[in-house]
Structures are given as C-alpha cells and as structure tokens.
C-alpha cells in the first residue's frame, strides 16, 4: 500500500491530538527502523526514550513470546511469577522497599501523588496540605499528572485541576525553600527534566531539596520515567547524586516497548497506602512483567550502565564539536549519559524534519528550540558518528 493511503486512513480514524510526521514505520532492527517503503532510518529517539535495548532483541522477544503462550493476564487478585521476578530485580537495582506496577508513566505519577496524599492524611495533616512541583516539568496527561506539570499551555484548557500544587523554579533551591511550610507533604520533580529541555538537577539543588524534605517530614518524589533505566549513566539518575528519594516513578524503558510503569517507595512511604487504597486491572500482569524482568536481566548482563557511560561521553564530545562548528546557531548543550540536548537559537522544527525526511535520521525535539538525543542505549560510536554527519547535513539544508 502507498504511504499516503496509510496516512489518509490513519487521519480518518485517529483522534487528532498529534501532528504526526509523514512516515509509516513497519519494523526495526537494532538501532534502525524501516518504513513501509523499505527505507532504513537511524533512530536517535527510541520511541521517546523507550527502546533502551533497541529493536528486535532476540532474547527479549523470545521471553515475551514464551509468556504469550503461557499466560497473558490473571488480575491482581492472584500472584504471578513474572511480577515477582520483575519486582525483585527492580528493588535490587533501586534499593527501594516496595513496588507497584502500572500501565504507564502517567499512572505511576498518579500512584506517587496518592502516596503523598495518604502520607499527609496518615499524619493527620489538615486537607489543605500542599505538594511542591517544578516549573517546566512534565509528568503526564491525566488530570492528576497534569496538575503537577508546570506548563500553562498544557494545563489551561483543563482547569480547574488538583488544588494546592505550588510550582518552584527547578535548580533554584531558594524558590523551593520559599514555598516550604508546615503544609508541605511532598516535593515532586524529575531528576533530569526531559520534555522541559533536558535540564539535569544540580547536585546542590537535589541535596538541598532532600534536606528540606527531611526537615519538614515531607516526601521527596523523583520522576525517573525518562531519565531512569540507565539512560543518565546510572541505573537511576538519583544514584549519581548520592541522594535517595522516598518515592520514585519509572516507565518508558522498563518494558522496552511493552507498556509498563511502576512507582516504588521506601521507608514510611512504602506502607502509607493499605489494601483497598489503590488498584489496577492490567497493571503488573504476566505479559508485561515477563518483558520487564528480562529487560532488567539484560541490562545487568550487557552492563548497559557501563556502556551508556562510555558512549554518552563520546556523544558529549561529538555534540560539543558540532556546536563549535555552528557557533551562534547551536547555543547550548546539556544532559548526562544518553539523555542530551542541544539548544538552538531558532526553532528546530525544520532541522528535525529535514533530518527525518532527507537524511533518514529520527530525532525528537524537547520544546521549540531543543533537539533531544535519547537513542537506544545500545548504540555504538559509529552510530554517533553517522548521526552527527546526517544531522550536520540536515542543519546545512535548513540554514
């Protein structure tokens, strides 16, 4: 079938909340994607930081297929082995005490917010307690997650949202301090802001927030949905800062394409909710947990953390060189490991489109002026070289 026919059919049926690029992907292999016309693309977007192990990992595919033939679903009224296996591996990697599996990142955030509320309720706090979140954050699209997403543009059409959310400036400890009071029950933030433009927390900031939470018996809740799962060069980005959250959320790369998320808690936060407080029909079912368990096993076996440190440093060097060659056009470079961003002086839309359509390079933006590099974590140096070459051509075409 012709590409345009697919696009026409899609636009006929799919609720239009996205402006999609005119490409219909069909299959993938390693760090490459193939469209329905058989063209090959180099992928530096990983389905928005999801495909950590790349496409078509045989061991992972075999594990998922075996589970398909065994048992897809049973509900949380019973136990299942893949959930135990995935849970044990996730707790070991994170040093947290308890895990709850969800179907998405947004739902993991909902769970974290419910822990914060339950924690406040258990302490007997008045119902006007507050949660501090960050400006330019992103936590998801449900009404709860949207309430803590510091973006007026996303929030405005859906107001009123959850009350008593206070927004501080990310990486500005004084602004957090100024919002703290006896009403504060939790602080929620991404360890590295993703959608907001790839801003890693500074060590001073994250340690300071941890200390403020300790002083006020408030929960530190870190959103690791995008920056977690080895992407920053630590299994979870907070592990690179020497602080530990009370609650954290993961999703994206956890299932390598199979929809699964989780919220994890430790200490008092791990027992704040009790039976009856929270639930999910699909969450943690055998199919998705078989994938997550195998993903976690493969991350360890392949030393993905070590690989990200090595390739992340190489990507850093190459993007710095690219920036130097395009002074005034590329004006900033931020990130850690394999979550990096280049800030441009002008909107990056034309460059991203050229890269995709002319250079067969999949890149995604984060805000209007930032190109975000979140490739499969298994990329090699040669892939970085090839990406820079194609990006530079796309850049010259757009100038």
Ligand X SMILES: *Cc1c(COP(=O)(O)O)cnc(C)c1O
Stretch 157-196: interaction string toward ligand X, x if CB under 6 A:
---------------------------------x---x--
Binding ligand X by CB under 6 A: which of 110, 130, 223, 246? 223
330-336, strands of its sheet edge to edge: 330-336, 339-344, 370-373, 364-365
Q: How would you class 67 by CB atoms within 10 Å of its CB: exposed for 0-12, middle for 13-18, buried for 19 or more?
A: buried
**Which CA distances in Å does 185 have to 107, 181, 223, 278?**
20, 9, 16, 19
DSSP code string of 340-372? EEEEESS-SHHHHHHHHHTT-EE-EESSTTEEE
Told to check if 226 binds ligand X by CB under 6 A, we report yes
Stretch binding ligand X (CB under 6 A), from 135-143, 152-160, 306-314, 378-386: 135-143
Quote the least distance from Cβ 395 to ligand X, whole Å.
26
Three-state secondary-structure class, residue 381: helix
| Residues 98-127 close enough to bind ligand X by CB under 6 A | 104-106, 109
CB 240 within 8 A of CB 233: yes
Stretch binding ligand X (CB under 6 A), from 12-20, 155-163, 201-209, 222-230: 222-230
Pick the closer one to ligand X by CB: 130 or 190: 190
Pick the closer one to ligand X by CB: 32 or 144: 144
Told to check if 140 binds ligand X by CB under 6 A, we report yes
Quote the least distance from Cβ 109 to ligand X, whole Å.
6
Cα angle for residues 280, 286, 292 (degrees, 5° grid): 95
Quote the least distance from Cβ 247 to ligand X, whole Å.
13
Pick the closer one to ligand X by CB: 94 or 354: 94
| Residues 276-305 close enough to bind ligand X by CB under 6 A | none
Please report the beta strands in 240-351, taking only residues with DSSP state E, as ranges in sequence order. 247-250, 261-265, 330-336, 339-344
286: tokens are: 């055998």
Stretch binding ligand X (CB under 6 A), from 5-13, 138-146, 177-185, 312-320: 138-146
| Residues 229-258 close enough to bind ligand X by CB under 6 A | 251-252
Query: Which chain residues interact with ligand X by CB under 6 A?
Result: 104-106, 109, 138-140, 190, 194, 223, 225-226, 251-252, 261
């Amino acid at each position: 079938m012709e590409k345009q026919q697919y696009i026409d059919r899609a636009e006929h049926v799919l609720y239009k909340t996205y402006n999609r690029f005119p490409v219909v992907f069909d299959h993938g292999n390693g760090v490459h994607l193939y469209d329905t016309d058989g063209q090959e693309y180099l992928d530096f977007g990983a389905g928005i930081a999801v495909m950590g192990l790349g496409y078509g990992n045989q061991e992972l595919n075999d594990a998922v297929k075996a589970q398909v033939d065994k048992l897809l679903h049973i509900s949380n009224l019973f136990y299942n082995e893949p959930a135990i296996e995935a849970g044990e591996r996730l707790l070991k990697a994170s040093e947290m005490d308890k895990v709850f599996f969800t179907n998405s990142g947004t739902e993991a955030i909902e769970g974290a917010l419910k822990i914060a509320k339950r924690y406040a309720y258990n302490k007997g706090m008045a119902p006007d307690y507050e949660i501090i979140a960050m400006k330019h954050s992103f936590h998801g699209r449900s009404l709860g997650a949207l309430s803590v997403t510091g973006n007026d543009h996303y929030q405005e059409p859906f107001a009123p949202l959850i009350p008593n959310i206070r927004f501080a400036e990310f990486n500005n400890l004084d602004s957090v301090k100024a919002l703290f009071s006896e009403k504060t029950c939790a602080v929620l933030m991404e360890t590295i802001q993703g959608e907001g433009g790839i801003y890693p927390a500074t060590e001073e900031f994250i340690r300071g927030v941890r200390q403020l939470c300790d002083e006020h018996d408030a929960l530190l809740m870190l959103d690791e949905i995008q920056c977690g799962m080895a992407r920053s060069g630590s299994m979870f980005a907070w592990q690179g800062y020497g602080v530990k959250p009370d609650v954290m959320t993961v999703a994206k790369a956890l299932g390598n394409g199979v929809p699964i998320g989780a919220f994890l808690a430790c200490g008092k936060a791990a027992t704040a909710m009790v039976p009856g407080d929270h639930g999910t029909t699909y969450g943690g079912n055998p199919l998705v947990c078989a994938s997550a368990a195998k993903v976690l096993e493969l991350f360890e076996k392949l030393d993905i953390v070590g690989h990200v440190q090595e390739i992340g440093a190489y990507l850093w060097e190459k993007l710095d060189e690219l920036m130097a060659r395009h002074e005034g056009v590329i004006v900033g470079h931020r990130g850690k490991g394999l979550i990096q961003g280049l800030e441009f002086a002008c909107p990056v839309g034309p460059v991203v489109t050229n890269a995709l359509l002319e250079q067969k390079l999949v890149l995604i933006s984060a805000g209007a002026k930032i190109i975000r590099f979140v490739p499969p974590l298994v990329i090699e140096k040669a892939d970085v070289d090839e990406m820079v070459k194609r990006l530079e051509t796309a850049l010259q075409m757009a100038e």
